[in-house]
Structure 1
Amino acid sequence: MMQTISSYSTAYKGNAAQVRKADRTRKDRSVERVLVRIAAASLLFVLLFAGLSLLTGHADGERPAGPSEAEQVITVGSGDTLWEIASSIRHEGDDIRRIVFDLQKRNNLDSSELKAGQTLIIPLSS
């Protein structure tokens, strides 16, 4: 009688109880992997949402009160700066830095950066 060598191998060595236990362990590991992925995705979503909610734009700020009779509304043109606008309404002896600060405060601006088309409330020149 001749014997042949087989390269076939089975993963099921042992009795049926051991096979069922191995299947349960494999299923438990796959469930754990899915739960870890869901937890990681949830954490990523929460972190992204929190990060984006911290970002604020200029449009979120409060609008300034309407202009009084001693003020006028101007529209910022392309290339205009707050410093140029302040120097155009400056009187002799006025500190330009104070005028820029007052314009920022009056218009609820965080910085001296302006955008074309933006409206500003400035005092009338007398």
Structure 2
Amino acid sequence: MSTVALSTGRITAPRSEARTTGGATAVRPTASARPAAVREGSDRPATRMRLTRRGRLVLVGLGLALAAGAGSIAGQAVAEAPIAEQATTTVVVGPGDSLWTIAQGIAAPGEDVRDVVSGLAELNELDGLGLQVGEELLLPAS
């Protein structure tokens, strides 16, 4: 067995245990003879943390997720090109006028009227297709 000698304020290392095996004496330190780091304020020995395979996979996955998130945020930060100024004229909406009838009047031959209506709505920043009498609309200059 191992023993610990105590003196005032000092702890000495435990002694090794000797075994006799067939004429030869083998000296092995006992488990308590090995120095064990002790956490401050605890009686449990400090152990080294080991990262398991699953832990490594989780860390790699988190790293990839962070990289993907940073890449998507960086992709959104790209500035759009400024919109080129377009020459326009104005027209006042009269009774019975609609965006469709105005678009039919300015559409080039063979041009789809739906595309012209969409362009007028975008140019005038209209939410709906309803117009008010007396409202001024911007039309692209031809």
Identify the TM-score tier after normalising by the shorter chain. Answer: 0.3 to 0.5
- Under a length normalisation based on structure 1, what TM-score does the superposition of the two structures give? 0.43
TM-score w.r.t. length of structure 2: 0.39
Larger RCO (alpha carbons 8 Å, 6+ apart)? 1
- Looking at secondary structure, tell me which structure has more strand per residue: 2
Structure with the bigger percentage of helix: 1
Larger Rg: 2
